[in-house]
Structure 1
Amino acid sequence: MKCAALLLCVVLSLDSASSGHLSENLLLFPKESNTAYVQLTPLKPLSLSAFTLCMRISVDPHVVDAEGRETILFAYRTKDFDELNLWQEKGQLSFYMSSGTGAIFPLKPLSTFRTNLCLTWESSSGLAAFWVDGRRSMLQEYRKNHRVQPGGVVILGQDPDTFVGDFEEKQSFVGEISDVNMWDFVLTERQIRAFNEKYWLGPIPNVLRWSEMEGDVKGEVLVVPEKNL
């Protein structure tokens, strides 16, 4: 009976076009799609010379580990450019800012087990790193003196090749995402490690804040209350 009640709760939270708070929920993208996505509402424009982006994430490896597949993890696009995209591609993690080549990190692919994933970047030095469950990758220099431009949309689940459209099924996200938070500065190692704790006591996120996040849900995305899991 408890399982049936949970399933009913999940199904009732699914809507082809709905909006609402995402706090204490996770987003489940159950299968490949070119229609399912969630558009997030930032607290302020993404005009960034530095950032820390964190999320809790797990994937369906049977889908996303398929040979030659690219999987979008986070997308921020303006009308003209992919301003900031995170990917799992070729069994590695990567991110791209604006046009051109990306920064590729030879890290183990994500798995069915939840991972605390963060990315840091700072313009004046160009130094960037992925953080996986509190452990930092080797630093890379990428897009020194660049700036992320405002006026775009933040999307989970799809890679928009136009402003909010032209999605490709073979690039769609399949798995769970929650606790997406973003700061307009680089957190310290100690602060990032604290993100591994459910009740996190670090600096309050000032760009994207999951605890106050508004999400516009499109297509087959399940909004699952974490308290019931």
Structure 2
Amino acid sequence: MEQRLFLLTLLCTTYAAQQDLSEKLFAFPLDKGTSNVKLFASVEQPITALTLCMRFFSSLSRGQSLFSLAVPSNDNAFLLYKPQIGVYRLHVNGMSLDIHGLPDVTDEWNSVCWTWDSSNGFTTLWINGKRSPRKILEPKATLTGAPSIILGQEQDSYGGGFDPNQSFIGDITDVHLWNSAISPCEIRSFMEGSAFVPGNVLNWKNLQYSITDSVYVENSDFDKLICF
């Protein structure tokens, strides 16, 4: 009986569901160092530009990982990390920079978009309708190899190496990823909850994912929240 329960648990945590998650969210309610969601994507190689958009709701003041993309040669290939309230850390190909001064809030929904283009290295972060100054991060870099994409944990090795002190606690919804730097108009539409072209790498309306440990799919309470 115990062996059957173990096999059933293993199947439940490794099975990759694919579904439309419109009006749904991933809830990470427990302070556990293993809870995560793995996202599956087919990406043209090599990766030379990306845009990430997502929304999150959290009470945490400590550091936490919002989005972690690793490739076999680099565990911080494209990582959005929040070391503290009001600070976002962008990692590309192992290099990083900190963004300060954007309208970051706790216990409310935050809408985030991050663009990076290796042709000139330009990277820009948008939080709740306000953008950072354009910065340069890893110009001419390319990300190669099958990506490992994780929500809720930072990968310190390809597909693993999680640190409980960097885990996410809260809710995540509307995760989209493009293999280009999308336009400010598209970003504005996402921020305002208006119609936009979904991500061509990760699409929340057609998402393939697997859940490990205490993560739950719940109804979203984000309803075109306009706070800018």
TM-score (normalised: structure 1): 0.82
- 1:98-148, CA deviations, whole angstroms, 9 ceiling, x for partnerless residues? 22x411101354421111100011111111111112221111111111112
Which of 14, 20, 23 does residue 21 from structure 2 map onto? 23
Moved over 3 A (4+): 15-19, 107-110
Q: How far 1:43 moved relative to its partner?
A: 4.0
Measure, in 2, the Cα distance between the counterparts of 1:227 and 1:43. 30
Equivalents in 2 of 1:199, 1:142: separation in Å?
Answer: 30
Task: Give 1:162's aligned residue.
Answer: 157
CA gap 1:26/1:154 in 2 versus in 1, 3 angstroms: same
Secondary structure class of the residue paired with 2:154: coil
- Shift of the 80–150 alpha-carbon distance from structure 1 to 2, 3 Å rule, reads closer
Please, which of 113, 118, 141 is the counterpart of residue 123 of structure 1? 118
1:35 to partner: Cα distance: 1.1
Q: Which residue of 1 aligns with 2:199?
A: 205
**Residue identity in the other structure for 2:201:** V
The 1:136–1:44 alpha-carbon spacing in structure 2 relative to 1, beyond 3 Å, is same
Please give the per-residue CA displacement for 1:149-178, whole angstroms capped at 9, x wherever unaligned.
231210000112222222111100111111
Distance 1:43 1:179, change over 3 A: farther
In structure 2, the partner of 1:7 is none
What are the superposed Cα offsets for residues 50-97 of structure 1, whole Å, 9 maximum, x if unpaired? Answer: 12110011112xxx31xxx42111001123312111110143101112
Cα distance in 2, alignment partners of residues 29 and 46 from structure 1: 32
Q: What runs of 5+ residues in structure 1 fail to find an aligned partner?
A: 1-14
Q: 1:208-223 maps to which residues of 2 (within 5 A)?
A: 208-223=202-217
Residue 93 in 1 paired to residue 92 in 2? no
User: Does the CA contact (< 8 Å) of 1:45 and 1:207 recur in 2?
Assistant: no
Counterpart amino acid of residue 126 in structure 1 = G
Report the residue type matching 2:101 in the other structure.
Answer: L
Q: Give the conservation status (yes or no) of the 8 Å contact 2:122–2:136.
A: yes
Partner deviation per Cα, 1:152-205 (whole Å, 9 max, x = no partner): 2100001122222221111001111111001111121111100024352x3332
* Contact preservation (8 Å) 1:45, 1:150: no
Distance 1:17 1:56 in 2: 25
> Which residue of structure 2 lines up, in the alignment, with residue 34 of structure 1?
33
Alignment of 1:6-155 (within 5 A): 16-20=13-17, 21=19, 23-24=21-22, 25-45=24-44, 47-60=46-59, 64-65=60-61, 69-82=62-75, 83-91=77-85, 92-99=87-94, 101-108=95-102, 109-155=104-150
The 1:22/1:223 distance shift into structure 2, 3 A limit, reads farther
Normalised by the length of structure 2, the TM-score is 0.83
In structure 2, do the counterparts of structure 1 residues 93 and 228 end up closer, same or farther at CA, with 3 Å as the change threshold?
closer
Are 1:183 and 2:178 an aligned pair? yes
Provide Cα deviations, 1:17-56, integer angstroms capped at 9, x if missing partner.
Answer: 5542251210011122111000001143563211211001
Matched to 2:66, the amino acid is L
> What percent of counterpart residues are identical?
25
3-state SS of the aligned residue for 1:162?
Answer: coil
Q: Give the unaligned 5+ runs of structure 2.
A: 1-11, 224-228
